[in-house]
Chains A and B, each alone.
Chain A
Amino acid sequence: MSRSRRLCLFGALLSTLACRGMPGRLPRGADLGPYADVDEPEYYAAQSLYAYMNGGAEIYNEYGFSQLWVRRYARDSRELVVELFEMRDARAAFGIYSYARRAGAEVDVADGCRGSLAGTEAKLAKGAYFLVCRAQDPMASADRLVRDICARIAKRLSGECGAGDAFLILDGNARIAGSEIHLAGPIGLNVRPWLSSIGREGFGQGWLVKYELPAGKAEAFLAEYKSADLAEKSHERLLADAQSIGRWIGRKGRYLVLVQGGDPPREQIEDLGARLISAASKAGAHAT
């Protein structure tokens, strides 16, 4: 098949998966109260997310993206953009939310549903949905309308708010609430410089989290590999890496743990690493 024919087929596929005027799960402005519709609603399926955000789609796919509805609203001469991502399940929705939330910026957005509210953007996870509400002009000053519209839409979504069992694998003692990030695949490892040298081969998922130890804060990363051999390979590589100096590194089975923190003494870091390994191994054994 010629390259141009392949591209035509690709285009035809995209055209069936990227639709305008499809109302989907985002209500009309009038159904939300004092909001007006701007432009036609948009819809993107898994294969067409690149058509909406070329270059930003990979991280959503890594978490288990299913479909996206985008709708623009106006109120008081201000324009708002709402993106409603439906993920594979509630765990995937909270996973991408944990990646996206801003530390220290979580508030009660809708009834009992905490979300991240900063600047001109509000985000929350509810059920299998990840909801983003944003002022069209990101350089505008903070806008109360993004919280208002997010609350109105969140109330219409089915499912529960909260992390569910996403972080049960982590030791809960002295964990800083809201610092937890679930990483669903290798692209997520770009979230911190000190995770760059972690082996990506066979990396399944990971959890990044901060702890308040008696002598200061430490950040820890728990990685789950597809096999114990691949975890060991990554472990050996980390031990040989000069950048690992000063970090606690441990492995048990498919799990690998790294802990770093400048202030706490070595024994506190080691104790945290051992607790994380132990909790993960128990949770892993339980899951098996």
Chain B
Amino acid sequence: MQRARESAAGTFSGGCTSRAPRCKTAPPNPFVENGKPLLVSVEGEDLTSALRAGIEALGGLDRLLPLGREALLKGSYVVPQPYPVTTAADCIVAVADELARAGFRRSTLFEAQGSRLVSAFAPEAGMRKVGVFNEVRRRGVDVIAGDFLDADEFRPVRNPDWSVDSPVSVHKKLHDAAVVVSLGLLKRHGEARLTCALKIHFGSVSITDRMVAHKNASQGRMNYFDHRLVHFADAVKPQLNVVDARALLARGGPALGGAAEIVRNVNRLILCGDMVATDAYCARLMAQHDETFSPAMIDEQLKHATALGLGTADLDAVKIVEIKA
């Protein structure tokens, strides 16, 4: 029964399920040391110097060059509220500058949060409202605002190892990009409990996939929701995660207005090629600042992501480098 319900939901979200190809494969994490994924956590008040120090500790962004010379930067604009709710313009520009320094020809900010079918809700409207759209373009970063209702922009993909037997429609720009850099934020989330490296990819898939996941969660099927957000991340497989934790959104989220409280002066940037390790570290950091959160609250997400081979949640198996800049 459960399988049938999930399959029906997937048909709505994915179209012709039998023809959906397997989700993309990604080259091995280039940021490793002695076989362990590297995670760099930089503490510093100046974004540019903290980012540069972090990238140096990571071994340099030129490790990504064999994959391509154009990078897609996945931002997050779930609601038109500035940082720390959404990805900040200065972070986007700083990462793009570092990619250019490493030899990348172009960096493009990507988000699919809106539709041209709804005049009041153009895909770039949220980025405009928070001042990111014009600011990053002025400073040389291209912007692609995907239309989350336009089926032609998405590609249904599947993975036989997923616990839900239906495809996910991932945006073609992300699916086809050789290098994806996720520019995550560290926030509590009313439904997902935490949003960092994995959950950011809710914005990488079609609105119907997102709605089906939300519907299952609101009916109490949290495992469906937890697994599905991992599948969304699996469909993208970014090469690098840069989490801008200069400030956190604690107690609630992913937006202001509800229970959320901003924790200022955390002043951390987290860089890692492993999404799962990033989330495990993010969870630990959040727990230090939010007594209403425990890393155990996202155990199921990390367990499923690990089982799918997306990374490791065991921080003892990660080479963690904590530095000050």
Contacts and interface: CB of A to CB of B under 8 A. Distances in A.
Which one of A119, A190, A193, A196 has the greatest number of beta carbons of chain B within 10 Å? A190
A50 B218 CA distance: 14
Interface stretch (B48-56, B61-69, B249-257, B269-277): B249-257
Contact of A191 (B78, B84, B292): B292
A56 B79 contact: yes
Given A83-B257, A99-B259, A7 B120 contact: no
Interface string B177-204: 0000000000001110101000000110
Nearest to A6: B12
A118 interface: yes
Nearest to A10: B149
B254 A185 contact: no
Interface majority SS on B: helix, strand, loop or mixed? loop
Nearest to B290: A193
Interface residues of B, number: 57
A11 interface: yes
A7 B292 contact: no
B35 interface: no
A187 B119 CA distance: 31
A11 B149 contact: yes
Interface stretch (A132-140, A147-155, A248-256): A132-140
Contacts of B121: 14-15, 18, 51
A88 to B, nearest CB: 15
Contacts of A123: 257
Given A14-B121, A139-B264, A187-B190, A56 B258 contact: yes
A235 B64 CA distance: 52
B117 A14 contact: yes
Interface in A231-262: none
Contacts of A196: 294, 296-297
Nearest to B114: A51
Interface residues of A, number: 55
Given A53-B79, A190-B190, A99 B118 contact: no
Interface in A37-81: 42, 50-62, 81
B191 A190 contact: yes
A8 interface: yes
A128 to B, nearest CB: 17
Interface in A110-149: 118-119, 121, 123, 132, 134, 136-139
Nearest to B253: A56
Contacts of A52: 79
Given A83-B257, A121-B256, A15 B117 contact: yes
Closest 10 CB pairs of A and B: A11-B117, A193-B294, A200-B220, A4-B151, A56-B255, A186-B220, A3-B15, A53-B79, A55-B78, A59-B190
Interface of A: 2-4, 6-8, 10-12, 14-15, 18-20, 42, 50-62, 81, 83, 96, 99-100, 102, 118-119, 121, 123, 132, 134, 136-139, 185-187, 190-193, 196, 200-201, 203
19 contacts: A3-B208, A7-B207, A8-B149, A10-B149, A12-B117, A14-B118, A50-B207, A51-B120, A53-B257, A55-B79, A59-B258, A100-B252, A134-B257, A138-B81, A138-B82, A187-B217, A193-B294, A196-B294, A200-B222
